A and B are shown apart, each in its own frame.
Chain A
Amino acid sequence: MNSAISVKNLTKTFRTKTREAGVSASFKAIFKPNYKKVHAVNNISFDVKEGELVAFIGPNGAGKSTTLKMLSGILFQDKGECRVNSLDPQTQRKQLAFQIGTVFGQKPQLWFHLPAIESFNLFSKIYELDKEEYTKRMLSLVKKFEIEDLIHQPVRKLSLGQRMRCEFVLSLLHNPKVLFLDEPTIGLDVVVKKTIRELIKKINKEDNVTVILTSHDIADVENICNRVIIVNKGKIVYDGSFERIKKQYLAKKFVKVLSETPINSFEMKGVEIVKKTKFSIELEVNTKETSMGKLIDFLTKNNTINDLSVEETPVEEVIAEIYQR
């Protein structure tokens, strides 16, 4: 398989003016401005294969959007290089634009006052699409996204979920090979999110579209993507499967025990008592240091157990932990 995207040592620095608060400081800043360099993206490299579904996650300001913008030809990088479908976004922006689609959850492309169909028609002209082929593709997309009843109403009258589905159709009209999705599910309700996720997977499968997605919703990532790249402060801190995150970082488990006989305090390596009453106990277990079986053996031997539950750390917390490193 060919690589759809290759990124080598990509770096982008923004220069921002900084100054103290207050009027006198702002006068000072006129003559002697202080500049601070912010490394939005700091020397990152990765490869994405054709047809891959990759999630790009990280805290706010980590450099996700900046990377996506460099890949889609919106921003110029300072250093390093990137290729999307073997094209250089800096020098071959227009050719590249024919092959990529973008959905930025916070930057709608549809005209607010017009029915979506008018935006579709306009984009068909911008992408120089053949009229017959365009009509065929548009109708099939409209059917796939179930927006038949919506495309003739002004976009301002649609709900966010309806609008988002129209945005997707707009970005897919020209049959892009690579799709950049920047927080496509932001602000959507659970049901709509699920629909959008299914549709993203469907597009990826049916048309072999490479998808790069950023999101703050871990469920998006877990449900859609087979590969996760975590960025923090402009650097890649994790690149691998979602499963591996779970295995590697979900070592902590919570055990709650209800007993018919009084429970005594005990000590075991890798086990920490969080809360204890006469007949119940809550434990935090590090499965790397002790096995679950050993603990349960111990508990059943010394007590008559009424109820026992084991919980994993929520993935969100794990990701948050990775962010904070």
Chain B
Amino acid sequence: MVVNHLRVHWEYLKVALSTAMEYKINFIIQVLAMVFNDVVWIIFWLIFFNRFQNVGGWVLGDMLMLYAIITLSYGLSSVFFGNRNRIAEIVNQGKLDFYLALPKNVLFHVLISRSSFYGLGDVVFGIILAFIVLSLASLSLFLILVLASTSILLSVAILSGSLAFFFGNAEATSRNIFMGTLSLASYPLSVYQGVTKFILLTIIPAGFISGVPVELLKSFNAQWFWLTIGFVVLIFSIATFVFYRGLKKYESGNLMYVRT
């Protein structure tokens, strides 16, 4: 079962790669754009920390760590689950028919059937950042936390995409929820206090995507570590549940399109 699904995943990656190679120039431009985007962001924080030194206990190194985690989890999910942000569109335009007529897990199949290889730009960038700020001793913890925040990012995408089952035209809303969560996650956790902080660790799980992992890497705390793992399991279960609940309301459609 699982092996078969992984085999299909591998095949899709190969197909995506050969599609990307059909349009080489486009591919290279997209990778460069991603890297450029990341570089601009880093320059901003370099200037910022040059003036202020620290934000609620966070220094430049912590910020780079945060960005390593975000770029890696964003990049990895783009490469391996490239349809992450297209669930609403797929549901809305009746493209889910394709997946429902095939003998594979629908949610898994939807997520993997596209790969955005330009996400590799983010992945490489994240690895370089990690190489700069990470000590070898915390490598395994770092990898676990990257996987955790990738899963949370995916869950947010599934949850926001599933809105399309219930509210119809939810493409823009879904994308905004995802991008909003991501941008909340790209500031130091220490700037958020009180109620805001509580919300970011519950309803909008931005804190668990980047802030908590950075705190854990700064000084390990078993309680927060297991809380993070527990949260990953919880939000992923909720996301899958909501998706399959929505699937029963799926209405298909007759829009004409081509598979690209």
B250 contact set on A, CB distance < 8 A: 74-76
Q: Do A112 and B258 touch across chains, with their CB atoms under 8 A apart?
A: yes
A110 at the interface (CB under 8 A from B): yes
B18 at the interface (CB under 8 A from A): yes
Q: Do B260 and A111 touch across chains, with their CB atoms under 8 A apart?
A: yes
- 241-255 of chain B: CB within 8 A of chain A: 247-248, 250-252, 254
Also in contact, A127 and B18, with CB within 8 A (given A65-B254, A106-B256): no
Q: Do B104 and A118 touch across chains, with their CB atoms under 8 A apart?
A: no
B22 contact set on A, CB distance < 8 A: 113-114, 154
- 105-144 of chain A: CB within 8 A of chain B: 106-114, 118, 121-122, 125-128
Q: How far is the CB of B120 from chain A (nearest CB, A)?
A: 19
Q: Mark A67-90, 1 if CB is under 8 A from B, else 0.
A: 001001111100000000000000
Chain A, interface size category, equals: 35 or more
**Which one of A69, A111, A156 contacts B97 once the chains associate, using CB atoms below 8 Å?**
A69
Q: How far is the CB of A214 from chain B (nearest CB, A)?
A: 12
Chain B, interface size category, equals: 20 to 34
Task: Say whether chain A's binding surface is mostly helix, strand, loop, or mixed.
Answer: mixed
Q: Do A69 and B252 touch across chains, with their CB atoms under 8 A apart?
A: yes
Also in contact, A112 and B101, with CB within 8 A (given A69-B252, A75-B250, A125-B7): no
Also in contact, A114 and B18, with CB within 8 A (given A74-B97, A97-B103): yes
A238 at the interface (CB under 8 A from B): no
Q: Do A75 and B252 touch across chains, with their CB atoms under 8 A apart?
A: yes
Q: Do B259 and A108 touch across chains, with their CB atoms under 8 A apart?
A: yes
**Which one of A65, A98, A100, A109 contacts B259 once the chains associate, using CB atoms below 8 Å?**
A109
A113 contact set on B, CB distance < 8 A: 19, 22-23, 260
Q: Do A100 and B260 touch across chains, with their CB atoms under 8 A apart?
A: no
Q: Do A109 and B11 touch across chains, with their CB atoms under 8 A apart?
A: no
Q: Do B256 and A97 touch across chains, with their CB atoms under 8 A apart?
A: no
Residue of A nearest to B168 (CB): A17
**Which one of B4, B7, B94, B101 contacts A100 once the chains associate, using CB atoms below 8 Å?**
B101
- 208-260 of chain B: CB within 8 A of chain A: 247-248, 250-252, 254, 256-260
How far apart sit A93 and B18, CA to CA, in the bound complex (Å)? 31
Also in contact, A102 and B258, with CB within 8 A (given A14-B251, A69-B252, A122-B12): no
A95 at the interface (CB under 8 A from B): yes
Q: Do A74 and B104 touch across chains, with their CB atoms under 8 A apart?
A: no
Q: Enumerate chain B interface residues (CB-CB to A < 8 A).
A: 4, 7-8, 11-12, 15, 18-19, 22-23, 94, 96-98, 100-105, 247-248, 250-252, 254, 256-260
Beyond A74-B96, A107-B94, A108-B259, 19 additional contacts (C-beta under 8 Å) are A14-B251, A69-B97, A69-B252, A73-B100, A74-B250, A75-B251, A97-B101, A109-B98, A111-B15, A111-B259, A111-B260, A112-B259, A113-B260, A114-B18, A114-B22, A118-B15, A125-B7, A126-B104, A128-B103
Q: Enumerate chain A interface residues (CB-CB to B < 8 A).
A: 14, 65-66, 69, 72-76, 93-95, 97-98, 100, 102, 104, 106-114, 118, 121-122, 125-128, 154, 156
A/B interface sample: 11 pairs, CB < 8 A: A75-B252, A76-B247, A76-B250, A97-B101, A107-B97, A107-B256, A108-B259, A111-B259, A112-B258, A122-B12, A126-B103
